């Protein structure tokens, strides 16, 4: 019984989405890591969560989480050993938070995706930049057809809060 794939909860978009080896300029090709794979590494390897905890955080089953993490680790190894570029993008994901930056005063802040402000909380400027737009321009829509564009009505309805 195949269930439709649920989107995975991601805390916030990665700020760094491309890595390349020094000197080689990424001549050995590129690896695409999905944002849910990135989040699996962050939760398990950086935050130290168990697979159970991390799976719950992302709203997926533990076996799915383990598969995601294994896949992410293989990509990291390929990158490190074979000197490939790494690009983080795509995946069926929902962000809980966004990082925004004010173009006028440079203030950077984290905000819930259902509470995007119009004005910079520091200087009141309207020139706010999303550091990593959720699904804008197709960058995060790889392979998943018509995802809704940012600011959709169901943002923030995850299992938490
Ligand atoms: Zn500002």
Q: What CATH number has the domain bearing residue 121?
A: 2.20.28
Beta-carbon contacts of residue 50 (< 8 Å; ≥ 6 apart): none
Gap from CA of 117 to ligand 1 centroid (Å):
12
Residues 40 and 67 in one domain: yes
User: What is the reported pTM?
Assistant: 0.72
Instruction: Tell me how far apart the alpha carbons of residues 76 and 133 are, in angstroms, rounded to a whole number.
Output: 24
Domains of the chain: total: 2
For 103, the token pair is 């173009």
Q: How far is the CA of 15 from the centre of ligand 1 (A)?
A: 19
Q: What is the pLDDT of residue 61?
A: 96
Same domain, 61 and 117: no
Furthest-apart CA pair in the chain: how many Å? 53
Q: Is residue 145 part of a domain?
A: no
* pLDDT value of position 28: 84
Domain that holds residue 12: 8-21+29-88
Ligand 1 centre distance from Cα of residue 9 (Å) = 29
- pLDDT on residue 73: 98
Concatenate the DSSP letters of all residues of 104-115 into one string: TT--EEEEETT-
Pair 37, 77 in one domain: yes
- Ligand 1 mean position to 13 CA, how many Å? 21
- CATH code of residue 45: 1.10.10
**Does residue 140 fall inside a structural domain?**
no
**Low-confidence stretches of the chain (pLDDT beneath 70):** 1-4, 24-26, 132-161
Q: Would you state the pLDDT for residue 140?
A: 40
**Tell me, what's the pLDDT at 4?**
64
CA of 101 to the centre of ligand 1 (A): 8
Q: Are residue 101 and residue 83 in the same domain, yes or no?
A: no
pLDDT at 6: 75
Q: Is the same domain home to 128 and 107?
A: yes
Establish if 36 belongs to a structural domain.
yes
Query: Ligand 1 centre from 17 Cα, in Å?
Result: 25
Model pLDDT, residue 136: 37
Do 150 and 133 form a contact (C-beta atoms < 8 A)? Answer: yes
């Amino acid at each position: 019984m195949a269930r439709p794939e649920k989107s995975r909860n991601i805390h916030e978009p990665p700020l760094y989405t491309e890595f390349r080896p020094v000197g080689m300029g990424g001549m050995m090709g590129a690896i695409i890591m999905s944002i849910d794979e990135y989040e699996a590494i962050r939760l398990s390897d950086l935050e130290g969560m168990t697979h159970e905890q991390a799976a719950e955080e992302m709203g997926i089953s533990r076996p799915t989480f383990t598969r995601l993490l294994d896949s992410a680790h293989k990509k990291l190894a390929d990158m490190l050993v074979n000197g490939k570029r790494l690009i983080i993008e795509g995946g069926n994901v929902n962000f809980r938070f966004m990082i925004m930056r004010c173009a006028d005063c440079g203030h950077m802040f984290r905000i819930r995706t259902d509470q995007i402000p119009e004005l910079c909380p520091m200087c009141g400027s309207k020139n706010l930049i999303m550091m990593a737009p959720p699904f804008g321009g197709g960058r995060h829509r790889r392979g998943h057809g018509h995802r809704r564009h940012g600011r959709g009505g169901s943002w923030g309805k995850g299992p938490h809060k």
